[in-house]
Structure 1
């Protein structure tokens, strides 16, 4: 059962489970907190797990605006933490969620005990990536969400898993279909505008996890592992694409728990 609150002037929906030190999980583009539904109960055995629907996604509001900047998402997150009276959390972001995690870590480092990027990168979009955002916006505007999601979701999984995990692929598609078109468009434009935040990784005073999938067709391990440092733990999951929360939820949770315990 999702909970709701007004945070930063909009309705934010979120899931919550477990007790203990708080851990926040942020989903990716055209996803929702449901992306984490296999991870939440596993991690919730030892931690208080909170997974919001980002603005423009899931059951949260999709407010007006030219685009949703990563900094705007970070302000939503700050309002969520303040209302839940959480001074410090461990924050993990998948893909888009990772870009937001970096924006939050840059502005509010003292609110984080640790943070991690899950199949994400500190690099901004290159020219090819920006063209891809424009194409996504054009497809959604002209054809709607279904054709866009049908083209997107299979590329998020390791090629073999598209065949062997049809239920997971279908579930991810259904979540994508339910994403408000305007929310998806404004988010795509926001990702196009994001800045390079490798300096956040280099200067972090908290432990950092960088987790990549060996068969990720969206973000290469080189882009995920952009900074090496004693405070950064790099993890490569084998036989996994961009969606370890579906493709290997037990392994992902094990890596998160190991990192948190250390």
Structure 2
């Protein structure tokens, strides 16, 4: 196990494979364990780095998650990149991790080579975001597979982690906080946007949102016709082929 200190707290990370470095960033209520089954698809070609944001997985716990969660987690990702001192590293963020990856690149393009942003809402949260979030979390807590995923990622205190995350996201939406530290049109690194047409956890108009982001940034857009949330998992082999090509 590897840890580094960020603001006097321990953040867990792991490394595998060789080649160009790629940091994979997990989504909300998940941890780096979500990438364990994917790692074999990448580690023969890349130096794969995984991390657990504070409050998740094997990293130190928090009393409360900040409402600007994805900006704060970007600062944690930046701290890891500085700690590893590998030069410019590509980022692959999924769901909430997509916002983290983009914020990291916006703030520190000197540390980032390319960004993959998978299965997220885009520049703003939908009007129905809070309602959908509460329904999704309620359903997941009553579903054996949902609870199993939470336990697998977080451990015995999974419900507290989920509740803290839900509280932070509700505050983010209620206060209409910006999701990015800077306008996306200022992004200075290549971007790949990825998603699934059947994804039930992103906003209904995410396709239009992706096209608008691409118009601002010159991003490549890949949408799979099938697959659930997130695309990097539900379309694992196809997604890996596309991501590996993009990152090379």
Classify the TM-score, shorter chain. Answer: 0.7 to 0.9
Please give the secondary structure, in 2, of the residue aligned with 1:202.
helix
Q: Does 1:250 align with 2:237?
A: yes
Q: For residues 11 and 150 of structure 2, what CA distance do their matches in structure 1 show?
A: 22
Of 184, 200, 205, the residue aligned with 1:201 is 184
CA deviations on 1:40-74 (whole Å, 9 max, x unpaired) are 12211111110111222111112223535222111
Structure 1 contact 96–191 (Cα < 8 Å) conserved: no
Q: CA 1:184/1:86 → structure 2, altered by over 3 Å: closer, same or farther?
A: farther
Q: For residues 5 and 196 of structure 1, what CA distance do their matches in structure 2 show?
A: 26
Q: For residues 54 and 77 of structure 2, what CA distance do their matches in structure 1 show?
A: 10
Structure 1 contact 150–173 (Cα < 8 Å) conserved: no
Higher relative helix content = 1
CA deviations on 1:198-227 (whole Å, 9 max, x unpaired) are 964322121100001121111143344442
Residues 1-262 of structure 1 correspond to what in structure 2 (within 5 A)? Answer: 2-65=1-64, 67=66, 69-133=69-133, 148-151=140-143, 172-175=149-152, 178=155, 180-192=158-170, 193=172, 194-197=177-180, 200-219=183-202, 220-229=206-215, 231-261=218-248
* Aligned CA-pair RMSD: 2.8
Q: CA 1:176/1:48 → structure 2, altered by over 3 Å: closer, same or farther?
A: closer
Q: For residues 64 and 100 of structure 2, what CA distance do their matches in structure 1 show?
A: 18
Structure 2 contact 91–115 (Cα < 8 Å) conserved: yes
What TM-score does the superposition give when structure 2 sets the normalisation length? 0.82
Q: CA 1:14/1:198 → structure 2, altered by over 3 Å: closer, same or farther?
A: closer
In structure 2, the residue matched to 1:143 is: none
Tell me by how many angstroms 1:82 deviates. 1.4
